[in-house]
Structure 1
Amino acid sequence: MRIETVSTARSFGGVQGVYRHKSRETGTDMVFSVYLPPQAEAGPCPVVWFLSGLTCTHANVTEKGQFQRTCAELGLILVAPDTSPRGEGVSDDPEGAYDFGLGAGFYLDATQPPWAANYRMESYLVQELPDVLAANFPVDMAREAITGHSMGGHGALTLALKNPGRWRSVSAFAPISSPMRCPWGEKALAGYLGRDEAAWRRYDATALIEDGARLDHLLVDQGEADGVLKTQLKPELLAQACEAAGIPLTLRMQPGYDHSYYFVSTFMADHLRWHAERLAGPASGS
């Protein structure tokens, strides 16, 4: 569980760090960021996972998300992993497209060659990185929440739906609500998983809910001026599935907001406060 410290910086009384480790799941070095609030000096703190979108790394939300002040106030640790494996020998989109391959891991375990060799982001996030965190940081792994943006919103929703009880709360910013029914998702699912659409349903939040998966509650923010709202995101499909399943969904359509981190950072504090309410309770072992 050895990690390398890439950088640290003081922020709102806490520490924003970037770290690297050798992943057994992806077979590559993986970089992630961790914000430790001041409260972490006294003992374990609850954890919020943030999964980023297409083309992103840990750096996008770390540098643009504007979460540090609120995490310091609420005593939350925020973890931002990368969006895909990277490095020499890791396969990329043969045409160099932004929506597949490097930076576009879709938080799944690929089954098709050559992707299956390294693209194991689901196992990395569910099994490996939590152990790395527990071994190196004052994290209360009994109190975890998860959120994400766009492709990362898709990841947050599907991981939470497939691992009931693991995360106490889940939210999303402009998630890809049904990858099976949008160009981004159709390309990724076919490439990573093959043409059997039955396998795709395990990585589609709307389909998972239709197939019986449940969440206790869900918060989603979506910009009405988002350029890919109708073609790629389709929150109405998620809303319909939640309504049919009786899942309490707060879907906030935000007038004038686009798909950028200006949008994400505007509502970041709302999401963190929402998660903090649901993470309230005794720390593990106390």
Structure 2
Amino acid sequence: MCLRSYSEETVGVLERCSGVVVARCSPTQKARVVRLLRARGRAVAAAGDGGNDVAMIQEADLGIGIEGVEGRAASLAGDVSVRQFCGVGPLLLVHGRRALQRSAALCLFIVHRGLVVSTMQAVFSVVFYFSSVSLYPGFLMVGYGTIYTMLPVFSLVLDKDLPSAIVLRHPQLYKQLTKGRQLSYKMFFIWTVISIYQGGVIMYGALVLFEDQLIHIVEISYTALILTELIMVALTIATWHWLMAAAELLSLLMYATTLLVFTSYFGFREA
């Protein structure tokens, strides 16, 4: 009766609840409750352990299936699966929180990595009378995006700002994520300004400081570019993992090896 005739009043009550338990209802009614909340712009996580919860789980933004005595229908239909209901807390407060932070950091660094080298190319073209000559050969561009900076940037998925025990003890930390500050327009604008500033300083600084060595401008600016990216990753990391340090050192070692082996790409000439 409430869902059919008083849906607006019902969803108004549900919005003021921190959690909603839908019991002794049909699968369609359970899914209808989730649909009403989502229609109001609410992000809904639905957890269930039986086959009659499948419709509700699939309707929610995050469907959590629990492996219970009623079978595995709910766990197979959900986006994620847990063995017990007590696993929902760590799933959201710990893993969900870290997943959002890591994804945000990874996205921002990928934007930063591409915008820095684009700014350097733009400065190079402007200084040399809008020349269409590429600053770096194709091998160096591919190496910058994969070999030399990929491991440190992707190692950010191992970063964690707080231990799991503290996050579970203070669930209000999760509420900060609902404000969307990690990937807001302000954060994107800040990283865009940082990228343009760093790219301009690296390229223009290399041209001014090493004016008498313009023949080596490629290796000078490229080395500064690689070091800047590695240092930015190191400054962003909150808690170091041994794989992060290994990624930084391995990337630096691979670049040093490239300088010695592929000398023709950096303007070196044998005497």
- Give TM-score scaled by structure 1 length: 0.26
Higher strand proportion (structure 1 or 2): 1
Which one has the largest radius of gyration? 2
- Give TM-score scaled by structure 2 length: 0.27
Greater RCO between the two (CA within 8 Å, min separation 6)? 1
